[in-house]
Amino acid sequence: MLKKLFQSFRSPLRRTQHIRSTPEVLNSNQHSLQRAQFSRYAVNIVERLQNAGYQAYLVGGCVRDMLLNITPKDFDVATSATPEQVRAEFRNARIIGRRFKLVHIHFGREIIEVATFRAGHPQNDEEEDTNQSSRNESGRILRDNVYGTLEEDAQRRDFTINALYYDPVSERILDYANGVHDIRNNLIRLIGDPVQRYQEDPVRMLRAVRFAAKLNFGIEKHTAAPIRELAPMLREIPSARLFEEVLKLFLSGYAADTFEMLVDLQLFDPLFPASAEALEHNPTYTHTLISEALINTDLRIKQNKPVTPAFLFAALLWPALPKRVLRLQDRGMPPIPAIQEAAHELIVEQCQRIAIPKRFTLPIREIWDMQERLPRRSGKRADLLLDNPRFRAGYDFLLLRESAGEQTDGLGEWWTDYQDANDSERRDMIRDLGSKGDGEGAGPKKRRRSSTKRKRSSADASGAAGE
């Protein structure tokens, strides 16, 4: 369902106008949070840092999610202590990062992230210390280790709903950017000038979409307005970072809504250019296949079933593959080598945008390769395919293609029956193929709309996502 882009309740203010020297303070009787709701390790870190003479607060997503009655995935702490000072207080602390210098404090499997208050970046080259802070020509922040005050830290955060500081000792919330107001009004709003903030870090456009989908919020109109024009800036982001961001977008349980918003805001193109082209030239089929895959992924996540990026990326990229396969076949290449060559070409191109690791690209290619092998069922081929470790992934992907309207002459139904049949019934099914001159098909047929395909439940249509 396409998200509505809400209008703001007031005009956006420039960064220099948006700064509040004193926060709105919400005492314990003005909000629903209690320290017992938060990780005891995170609360302990805040208390120890405060006792050592530093300012320290629980901050960001954990405060936002608790106000929305959502269980946080992690708990972050912001403090006036430098990373070195934090490490000196905790023997189980480790400094990480270069672009953002952070401290991870380990408590068994739980890791609490501690960040030092940061200030805004100098606006001219003479003031900028390249060892601590640097930008590229387009304004993107390359290094962000300029430490500052609590007030400055609040203003450099991206969205108002993430600029909330909770003190578990006094049980007060400090709100510098009207974040509680925007939470109550279900609104995603950038702090400062949207164009400047997106230029500093184009990934903020993806974060706006992710939060809107996750929280079922609208994106404030001035926050949304520059996105379509600035979307190409995502091409400047390192492909490894985009891989992590795409996982957050599509493996958080809200992938279907996220996809709709990415397409609407023209953010899908810089992430998946070949698939975006397929969406333009064959919109119904491409949109249906990707949406079905994402709906099934969301369902599996809600059911606490395992998922893997391999099946997800296989679905996101598949609509761009058949055209390439047919082009190679027209040049005389046999079907299986054609799909293998086209798959290699497509994945290499995609990895230039999103660095999909080899542990996922290999299964992607095997899933696609199975689409050419599944029609070939004569003799002992069906049993050999059934024993193939990628059979289930390939079979589920076949059902996904059928649900999107591809004509496969009942191939998915045949494989469904074959799995449930006994040995004798399977031999009869193979003989029937021979009498019909079938079993040597050349892979995916031309697509048509169909609503009569027999398939397993939608929850299982991407069951291989966990295999």
Q: Which residues are catalytic?
A: 74, 76, 158
Q: What is the DSSP string of 277-296?
A: HHHHHSHHHHHHHHHHHHHH
Q: What is the CA radius of gyration of the chain?
A: 26
* Cβ-based neighbours of 396, under 8 Å, separated by 6 or more: 311, 460, 461, 462, 463, 464, 465
- DSSP 3-state helix, strand, coil percentages of the chain (rounded to 5)? 50, 10, 35
Measured over all CA atoms, what is the biggest interatomic distance in the chain, rounded to whole angstroms?
85
What span, in angstroms and rounded, lies between the C-alpha atoms of 60 and 68? 13
How many angstroms separate the CA atoms of 263 and 141, rounded?
26
Which residue, among 287, 282, 244, has the nearest Cα to 263 in the 3D structure? 287
Two tokens, residue 71 = 């269980």
Is the Cβ–Cβ distance between 406 and 445 less than 8 Å? yes
CA distances from 35 to 50, 65, 231 (A): 15, 14, 40
Phi, psi of 460 (to 5 degrees): -95, -10
Number of residues that make up the chain: 467
Cα-based distances in Å from 9 to 169, 182, 227: 33, 10, 19
Euclidean distance between CA atoms 59 and 45, whole angstroms: 13
